[in-house]
Structure 1
Amino acid sequence: KYTSIALVSLGIFTCTFMSAKQVVRPGKGPQEFPLPGIAALTFALLMSARMGIFQETLYQKFGKHSKEALFYNHALPLPGFLLLAPNIYQHAVLFNQSEPFQVPVIGLTLPIMWFYLLMNVITQYVCIRGVFILTTECTSLTVTLVVTLRKFVSLIFSILYFQNPFTGWHWLGTAFVFVGTLMYTEVWNSLLRRRRRRRHKEQ
């Protein structure tokens, strides 16, 4: 299972690294040093995996309460955003200056950037709520794999949406992710067991 996680991580690293090399800044050539950003994402992934293990320990000790864990996980860091208050205020002003947008069905008119933010919050809540429910039902390793695969799907979607080249390296990274997922779910082992059962029945 650890080998499968390593394969999936290697696949995502390959796709991310090759996509980062294709980024061109205005007036400059391709970005030459994407590694710090990738390292930061890798560190965040490792920390989220560690948090998953910590949550698993909490659930074993105090019971499985996913809603409570979700609340405290987001409520406790809120005071830290006070440090970013000026920046948040500036962006709120920019959001208010965006073009008006009429929300379908409701008919409410509001700046389009606020609508985008609202949609983002709703979809993020659905996603993170599912992850916290998953932590109560599965091991932290399984949750890490699911979250990593979700990030991989987002990466592939962004490549296709922004019409970036999908090179051979991207296919290689995709193959790593696919093989790693099959290894983790033990698909091959179950197929081998079925074949053995069929042979026994035939005998």
Structure 2
Amino acid sequence: MRPFFAVGLVFAGCCSNVIFLELLARKHPGCGNIVTFAQFLFIAVEGFLFEADLGRKQPAIPIRYYAVMVTMFFTVSVVNNYALNLNIAMPLHMIFRSGSLIANMVLGIIILKKRYSIFKYTSIALVSVGIFICTFMSAKQVTSQSSLSENDGFQAFAWWLLGIGALTFALLMSARMGIFQETLYKQFGKHSKEALFYNHALPLPGFIFLASDIYDHAVLFNKSELYQVPVVGVAVPIMWFYLLMNIITQPRPGQKGLPWPTSQYLQKTALTPALQNPFTLWHWLGTLFVFIGTLMYTEVWNSLGATKSQPRKEDKKN
């Protein structure tokens, strides 16, 4: 039961995280910097307390390597945030980021000279088809939802193309970071918790350059309507509550794009029916391709089956 419980927690956490991210972005589309800063600060403090032992524990991997990784990680996070300001809807944003599997495979073949099985190539093909369908339908929606003016429609589409370019760049940079991290683990051993801490702690000074934007959105958050937090009974500005829930539900060590339909269902049944993304039948079909392709690539069912069939330690002793 433990593997199923773990997968369920990750699945619920990812979906909940996306829900609160959209609640934030719907109200203030440019709030990505304050969200990222809050996430980085939370994980850095958590890691400083429990992983770095208040700074007394020396890193197993030299800091200079983390500096390179952090540069890439910080760039990916900021670019992904700004993509939301470029006519990129949240469903497309999450589905497009599932293309990390494609980017990882392409760079793995080019840089690491890896070769994959036909099964994995097939899974990547399914993910590619799914992303293409969702991207194509999103492009049609951008033009159709613009005003009747031809210039306005072209401008909206141009910003959307820039957003797609930003997401593509972020995908490739993220994949390159993964390859760099893989080479470090081969050389120094796998230290995922340590990497998680330094990847979030070292970039914090970089947010000084975004301080003005972060402060402006903090003021906007303070002016949002009050929300009575359940159980606690304390009234706080609702945007700060959304941000807190987004931080708490963020998966660790990393967040991957999970099926958007589940998030859509949770939004409409559990949180707020006011959020209505234009999610057509074609989007559902594209998401299904991405979902199946991702399961095939990661071979989740094989891992669960293998874990289930393994004898317990007590059985081995007997």
TM-score category (smaller protein): 0.5 to 0.7
Residue 166 in structure 1 maps to residue 290 in structure 2: no
Question: Which of structures 1 and 2 has the larger relative contact order (alpha carbons within 8 angstroms, sep 6+)?
Answer: 1
Residue type at the aligned position of 1:32: F
Which residue in 2 is equivalent to 1:137?
A: none
Question: Contact 2:130–2:290 (CA<8 Å) still a contact in 1?
Answer: yes
TM-superposed deviation, 1:115: 0.5
Which residue in 2 is equivalent to 1:32?
A: 157
TM-superposed deviation, 1:163: 4.3
Residue type at the aligned position of 2:241: F
TM-superposed deviation, 1:61: 1.7
- Aligned with residue 127 of structure 2, among 1, 5, 8: 8
TM-superposed deviation, 1:185: 5.6
Larger-Rg structure: 1
TM-superposed deviation, 1:68: 0.8
TM-score normalised according to structure 2 size: 0.45
Q: Please state whether the residue corresponding to 1:110 is helix, strand or coil.
A: strand
Does the C-alpha gap of structure 1 residues 105 and 78 become closer, same or farther in structure 2, counting only changes over 3 Å? same
Question: Contact 2:261–2:284 (CA<8 Å) still a contact in 1?
Answer: no
- Cα distance per residue 1:110-139 (max 9 Å; x no partner): 111111111111122xx133x38xxxxxxx
- Aligned with residue 93 of structure 1, among 215, 219, 223: 219
- Aligned with residue 48 of structure 1, among 159, 171, 174: 174
CA distance in 2: counterparts of 1:96 and 1:12, whole angstroms: 37
Q: Please state whether the residue corresponding to 1:101 is helix, strand or coil.
A: strand
Residue 154 in structure 1 maps to residue 264 in structure 2: no
Does the C-alpha gap of structure 1 residues 38 and 120 become closer, same or farther in structure 2, counting only changes over 3 Å? same
Q: How does 1:114-153 map to 2 (within 5 A)?
A: 114-124=240-250, 127-129=251-253, 131=254, 147=256, 149-150=257-258, 153=259
CA distance in 2: counterparts of 1:115 and 1:109, whole angstroms: 10
Residue type at the aligned position of 2:134: C
TM-score normalised according to structure 1 size: 0.67
Question: Contact 1:16–1:155 (CA<8 Å) still a contact in 2?
Answer: no
Let me know the Cα RMSD of the aligned residues. 3.1
Does the C-alpha gap of structure 1 residues 71 and 27 become closer, same or farther in structure 2, counting only changes over 3 Å? farther
Question: Contact 1:21–1:32 (CA<8 Å) still a contact in 2?
Answer: no
**Unmatched runs of 5 consecutive residues or more in structure 2:** 1-119, 269-274, 301-318
TM-superposed deviation, 1:25: 4.4
CA distance in 1: counterparts of 2:170 and 2:130, whole angstroms: 17
**Unmatched runs of 5 consecutive residues or more in structure 1:** 133-146, 188-203
TM-superposed deviation, 1:103: 1.1
Percentage of identical aligned residues = 66
TM-superposed deviation, 1:45: 1.3
CA distance in 1: counterparts of 2:295 and 2:240, whole angstroms: 40
